[in-house]
Structure 1
Amino acid sequence: MRLRALVDEVRLGPLNHRVLRPYRTLPRAALFPAGADRRPHCLLMYTDRTAAAVLHAAWALATISPHSLVYLPMRAAPPPAHTPFAGTGAASFDLLLHHRLQFPLSRWKQVRARLRGGTPHTAVIPPGVLPAYEDVDHDARGYVEQRDHLRIELSGRTVFVVGGTVAFRGWGHCLRRLAEGPRPGTGGSCGAPHHCVSVDDWRPRQDRDWTDLHIEVVADWRHGAVTG
């Protein structure tokens, strides 16, 4: 698998941050919080098939790139017409995938402001980085000794998905299934007839509510009102 990307090296103080983002923008990928809570329980993301493939590759790249920030800019994307966000003026969020770096989320705004044209780069992702569903121990994240869990956070208009290699791999089967398309006789992860997957940051004995990232592939994407 390959991902055509742009690479920026951004220096803030003594630290250098490597940011990778898709070479081409994703006009049919949008991400919205469901509800007005500061920390919503559910995030709703919509992609077309092309964006689903890019998201799959970006997730795989984040899995094997512990020293990089993998960035999917989506702020300019309008919602699909069939969603509850069409015509409301709701603004899409960006998505940032990264490992447990010593990287305060509040610093991302400064890093993003320093991004320029980027250097073209083709990331080659080895086969098998993201496992199939049947190759995952789905009970593992419930084990007390399992310490590597995803964490989903919001800051500004960016959704951050943070974790280590184990956490990204553990959810990788969802992104793989998203890109490969629905299997015959199967529905979405939420029981709806559309093709979708869900990723969440539940963990044992956590002291806060968990957040669900629901991703739907829209086969017939028709733009709703352009967001502000």
Structure 2
Amino acid sequence: MYNYISNYKGRTDLVDLYGDNSLLLYALQLRYDIEDIISVASEALTDGSDDKKCDLIYIDRDSGFAVVAQAYMKKNPTETDLAKVNKASDLNTAASWIFTRDINDIPDRIKDSVSELQEAIKDGDINTVYFWYVHNMNEKNNPEVQEELNTVQIAAQKLVNNLAGDNSVKIVSLEVGNDTIERWYNSSSKRITIEEEIDVEGNGKAFEVKGGKWKSCVTAVKGSWI
């Protein structure tokens, strides 16, 4: 059993609003420690009719990378279920539309995101583009997925080289299944986040302690309250 699953299922802010794309957003937040994932979702999610196999296009100019993702969520997956290979190969279509098509030919659903990514690449603000295939199954079950992602990486690298000109952009394809999400969860700040609110019977005196991306409150309580 993967530890991240119970935490993910408790994220009603994602599950209730974004359905099959919620795991994709959850993984993105874990990987890059994104504080306001809902705001990111409103800009980065592109899933829908005529999305050209891009469920998400996330661009971070400040950090110099972008994520193009295709997601698949299987209901009630088992330990032996195989992730669909065609979802990985769909990323070839995504790469073609993003890196080679004239912006005037791009469907409205993804036009703004593709335009921003193309401009960021041409401006030299992006040095890495990740192509993710996100799913809720075990990565080791279907080696054909990784083979297909290797093909995506090679093909997309050739395409982006033409768009980037003198700028250097690296393509990285990645299968983001249970094993990868679990690893990100175990190394994330969520491991020490307390979600439950507790009323404390303190003495009215407290002080705040901060460190990195966390903060705590120190006070004194009665032994009977404990």
Q: TM-score, normalised by structure 1?
A: 0.26
Structure with greater Cα Rg: 2
- Give the helix-richer structure, 1 or 2: 2
Q: TM-score, normalised by structure 2?
A: 0.26
